[in-house]
Structure 1
């Protein structure tokens, strides 16, 4: 239910029905377990305690209501540390894995404290649950509710963004550290940060030791409702709750939305050989998809698969999403391996999966952005067919086609045009608008943009898996030298390719997602799977802001242009038809000599003319016509401006073959094209011309 907070502001919290709830004179503890024969509450005085100070038995007659165990302990308050403990059948052949000695994390806990503790008795001691008081002075903060079509998303890792000593801040690697770098984000111009997992995941292994390969990325959920304690500056139990809220509030003040990467597809408990930490010890056969009633399915690639379409698990996911939206004011979610949500309780992909539809239709999530990674680790690939118009998707086809075109792969001309125009082949048939496509060329998973043009092969030896891990299909190139080089010719091509892909991304219809550091050519030295690299290899090197100030300037100007120009962020698909009585089609394609484009040609060069949108989409008349000239060949070409734009004033906006600052003209005041309208196009380059505002050319 929604509850009014006594803060003096009109603010609300969402109280899930399970977990630890503060009462006037104590704390109510509620947990679901259908098969448990006994339930215990373990209370601790200190984070370092190995043994509980008190054990309280739930009374089976008075503290059990259906399948819910619930009791109130008077005299307890916020900050109380606890575990659960459940007895029940140990029958792995039938999906039951109760362990009466296991200390269990409450699935609904809102914070954890400490780490796994080493011991000699064989009992696993996970981080302790914390009773949380959700009261917080939001100072009137509300969701920003920016239209998705107007968004520029910046994917980032909370710790990695500021952990490097080069960040030179007071609270590196934390939520507060992000606050210190908000001026950078605001100056860059992004409208939303998409945070890699911030819910709880293990720091140490179950024996209290530093793991050989730490889970830096955080895709290993341990407590879905809890902000990760490792990103808090203050190490007091529950401090992460306050600091996360402070971060969201300050980002909102800067006009930046917060999108969370959520992992409702597996947990850190692993398969049959994994530990019992929470879900396994409370109702294993409900929380996980089991084959033959006992074996963990592995559609996630991580050992188990969360049973998202079981009513109990479905309810937990909804409570969790509402909790983050209403108690933390987050603006949206990116669902990792979201195709798993399309699988039924037997693991089969089903049409119109109820979970996917319910998330889209939930009234308490109506203000949020919902984005799917529309595939999973078991072969499901649903890009273009995931959910309804409320769902946007990471467009993996966009990534592959843009990479292939700029690498020079034959037969990619049509694919590039389709992606540039908003991927109507994927979304229009289902009545979904262009902004359902989240366009990206790189993400946390794979090469950085710099490495995409510097390495042909992955270099993951540091991961300790003999370079077997990571994707082998990178659609990358090194242009003559693997890795860093002093060869000017190679460096020149790489510099052009970085700009080519940044410009393509930010001028495409759909919603662009930029990966943190790509704007300053961050490198992972060819590692395309840095999930375990919690070090300088993964962290943002802030020296690059000065070293590659030219690329940063280029990116900032592109983002500002996109935010100013409705021409490149339409809410409806291009049709090839004239707009508002003009004789100019909304999009047209030409060969380099200005004639209609031959889509069967193998030469990767073309000219795209994109007209300003209609009065309906552009009531203020800000739109400009845009001409984009592409040359992805290895030779210099000559491109002719199409006749359709004659009589209009044109200025150069982008020239990726030029040195900074003439590679981009932020004020749209670059040189006019040659009088003969024939433009020199060096190899591997992109030029963009823009017209003046077209409102003067429209018929009254």
Structure 2
């Protein structure tokens, strides 16, 4: 049989039905607008040009098909710069905001170039759209398709990862900078990076074209859903970010690391009724946004001024095309949906069961290979953790974060919550037919304190944000152990290190999918700022000198990650229910108090012993795993622990002792000391021990 091997550049891709479509003889421009009375194409020669070099009118008779405006311009090629301009009714009381002077970003623009230019004449001049050639030699690259249950996610900011001078990379703060640091990510052992928003967002003030007092560092302010952010490209060539992003994805895949994008389909940077007209407002405001009071105002379920009308058929199609574009033209492996509960709201803003958009994302055949993760709440009070959607959707488990923080802070009556979270949060996910891997477990994320600050500050310190320390959450469940901020007191510093190790142990030994925040493994600090959305500086950037300074912590975390990857015992695919294993009276999960007897869940104690029995089989693998014995003293005083009788017939070796000094805090080869022959020992305050059974 003749086998045909396609050229690597001809792998499957998703051709967008709208936007600037590159042909051999020119470019076709396609845009949706139902209410426009006229449409124009503005062409530019240079990025810095304030005025177009050519203005081309669409012909209403020949260039409009239904609500689609489509025109072919011969002779144009890759790199052409353009805007749209739409005429139509301006009636804010009815939600109509057409402005024939406005230069509009193409909603389907594949790249933007330049920045906002000063608008002293009242005309906002946004970055220009770029005609892009999507061809790229992927060299056979495909999605890695790692099982979600085996994933270890690293949430990171593309710029902040390497922007600091200490990173030592040739291209700091860029996609190429990430590529240069892939050996670090690989050595850490994470299986996926979750990139904070890389869709285009504003970098400069829209009216002055200058750097704003409080910039948008995080990027949760989308301006173009199909375009990688130009600010993270090393190249300044228009469209250069497209190639660099693809190169980064390919390099990460070659290292065995998946790429998950944090996407913001819930609002845009156009703001409320006082905001600028940049794109969607000027093309079909009533379709793209949820409007209130007859169209005069914007519903604001996002907390950012407007709400994208995601369950309108036109907008739903745009979101699908955006997702498919990133999956098939950029090979990304999955998405984390910011404020995903907004996607569950109908066109009137009401939460509905089985919302069309959410259900369709899960069922879309072109997204079948991807991971889809919901931030299952929004800014208007919706909280759907555990009940967001169907079996395809995983969720950021906010309950996990709060319960684990509370336990290690020392709050009483948290044993039941701790056990439930360790075992995979069956209270949240089992009733809906889901499994432990639908819970994305995290203790810290970009939003809030990093791990170091969680153990160093009782209160937020957001003065640098310029909002009088009023912004940011006041409910941090943090504890400073006697001194607010950095200290030279050895006892406090030791306890802080110990608590960070305790939380890492809990996170990486819990059933479910762990997510680690960038730099937590080396104690990155934000100096008490728990809302660093506007801090594009050392407050947010990773200080790479910490890698050497806190190598002890990095070694500890690396060992935990390696153990998790090797041991199916701590990443089981089904909920543990206290079912017998047929071995020595051992159940799949076994709970005891510190004295090795039954737990009194209402006692208010903070000591717990957990024995995870190795699964009888790891699906298709021959790795049956090992029994894992986890002992946790969350109290503020030393406590005696006695091994439960069911554990005494097993040959145990120490893996972790968070109270010990390095290198005795972790034994990566699982060859640590055996427990005392009598099975009795005293565990220092706020400490964890992990023993692992011989094979």
> Match for residue 698 of structure 1?
none
The alignment of Structure 1 onto Structure 2 pairs a total of residues equal to: 690
> Structure 1 residues 368, 582: closer, same or farther in 2, change over 3 A?
farther
Q: Aligned partners of 2:248 and 2:685: how far apart in 1?
A: 45
> Match for residue 282 of structure 2?
281
> Match for residue 696 of structure 1?
none
Query: Deviations 1:491-522 (Å, cap 9, x if unpaired)?
Result: 11111100000110011000000000000000
> Match for residue 48 of structure 1?
48
> Match for residue 651 of structure 1?
653
Query: Deviations 1:600-632 (Å, cap 9, x if unpaired)?
Result: 111101111110012254741431111111111
| Aligned pairs for 1:200-279 within 5 A | 200-207=200-207, 208-279=209-280
Q: Aligned partners of 2:225 and 2:621: how far apart in 1?
A: 43
User: After alignment, is 307-316 or 576-585 more displaced?
Assistant: 576-585
Q: Which runs of 4+ in 1 moved over 6 A?
A: none
> Match for residue 362 of structure 2?
360
Query: Deviations 1:209-229 (Å, cap 9, x if unpaired)?
Result: 111100000000000000000
Per-residue deviation at 1:61? 0.6
The question of 1:380 aligning with 2:374 is answered: no
| Aligned pairs for 1:498-513 within 5 A | 498-513=500-515
Q: Aligned partners of 1:154 and 1:101: how far apart in 2?
A: 44
Q: Aligned partners of 2:518 and 2:351: how far apart in 1?
A: 34
Q: Aligned partners of 2:175 and 2:157: how far apart in 1?
A: 10
Is the CA contact (8 Å cut-off) linking 1:111 and 1:226 kept in structure 2? yes
Query: Deviations 1:313-348 (Å, cap 9, x if unpaired)?
Result: 000000000000000000000000000000000000
Is the CA contact (8 Å cut-off) linking 2:568 and 2:623 kept in structure 1? no
> Structure 1 residues 539, 616: closer, same or farther in 2, change over 3 A?
closer
> Match for residue 67 of structure 2?
67
Q: Aligned partners of 2:619 and 2:629: how far apart in 1?
A: 20
Q: Aligned partners of 1:591 and 1:321: how far apart in 2?
A: 48
Q: Aligned partners of 2:583 and 2:647: how far apart in 1?
A: 15
Is the CA contact (8 Å cut-off) linking 1:571 and 1:617 kept in structure 2? no
Per-residue deviation at 1:647? 1.9
1:579 is paired with a residue of what secondary structure? strand
Per-residue deviation at 1:525? 0.3
Per-residue deviation at 1:194? 0.2
> Match for residue 574 of structure 2?
572
> Match for residue 477 of structure 1?
479
Give the TM-score normalised by structure 2: 0.98
The question of 1:12 aligning with 2:23 is answered: no
Q: What is the root-mean-square deviation in Å for CA atoms of aligned residues?
A: 1.2
Q: Aligned partners of 1:396 and 1:234: how far apart in 2?
A: 38
Q: Aligned partners of 1:494 and 1:448: how far apart in 2?
A: 13
Is the CA contact (8 Å cut-off) linking 2:584 and 2:646 kept in structure 1? no
2:249 is paired with a residue of what secondary structure? helix
Is the CA contact (8 Å cut-off) linking 1:456 and 1:478 kept in structure 2? yes
Is the CA contact (8 Å cut-off) linking 2:653 and 2:693 kept in structure 1? yes
The question of 1:87 aligning with 2:84 is answered: no
> Match for residue 299 of structure 2?
297
Per-residue deviation at 1:372? 0.2
The question of 1:440 aligning with 2:439 is answered: no
Per-residue deviation at 1:120? 2.6
Per-residue deviation at 1:7? 4.2
| Aligned pairs for 1:436-475 within 5 A | 436-475=438-477
2:329 is paired with a residue of what secondary structure? helix
Q: Aligned partners of 1:125 and 1:621: how far apart in 2?
A: 59
The question of 1:153 aligning with 2:153 is answered: yes
User: After alignment, is 113-122 or 214-223 more displaced?
Assistant: 113-122
Q: Aligned partners of 2:250 and 2:593: how far apart in 1?
A: 50
> Match for residue 196 of structure 2?
196
Q: Aligned partners of 2:149 and 2:605: how far apart in 1?
A: 32
Is the CA contact (8 Å cut-off) linking 1:158 and 1:195 kept in structure 2? yes
Q: Aligned partners of 2:520 and 2:513: how far apart in 1?
A: 17
Gaps of at least 5 residues in structure 2 are none
| Aligned pairs for 1:249-648 within 5 A | 249-294=250-295, 295-579=297-581, 583-615=585-617, 617=619, 619-648=621-650
User: After alignment, is 613-622 or 368-377 more displaced?
Assistant: 613-622
> Match for residue 697 of structure 1?
none
> Match for residue 172 of structure 1?
172
Q: Aligned partners of 1:638 and 1:446: how far apart in 2?
A: 35
Query: Deviations 1:240-297 (Å, cap 9, x if unpaired)?
Result: 0000000000000000000000000000000000000000000000000011231101
Query: Deviations 1:85-117 (Å, cap 9, x if unpaired)?
Result: 000000111111101100000000000000001
Q: Aligned partners of 1:456 and 1:617: how far apart in 2?
A: 45
Q: Aligned partners of 2:477 and 2:455: how far apart in 1?
A: 10
The question of 1:143 aligning with 2:143 is answered: yes
Query: Deviations 1:427-450 (Å, cap 9, x if unpaired)?
Result: 000000100000000000000000
Give the TM-score normalised by structure 1: 0.98
Q: Aligned partners of 1:679 and 1:248: how far apart in 2?
A: 49
Q: Aligned partners of 1:166 and 1:107: how far apart in 2?
A: 38
1:304 is paired with a residue of what secondary structure? coil
> Match for residue 126 of structure 2?
126
Per-residue deviation at 1:679? 2.1
Q: Aligned partners of 2:470 and 2:20: how far apart in 1?
A: 44
1:179 is paired with a residue of what secondary structure? helix
Is the CA contact (8 Å cut-off) linking 1:7 and 1:136 kept in structure 2? no
Per-residue deviation at 1:118? 1.2
The question of 1:184 aligning with 2:191 is answered: no
Q: Aligned partners of 1:210 and 1:676: how far apart in 2?
A: 67
Query: Deviations 1:534-554 (Å, cap 9, x if unpaired)?
Result: 001110000000000000000
Per-residue deviation at 1:389? 1.1
> Structure 1 residues 448, 246: closer, same or farther in 2, change over 3 A?
same
Is the CA contact (8 Å cut-off) linking 1:5 and 1:12 kept in structure 2? no
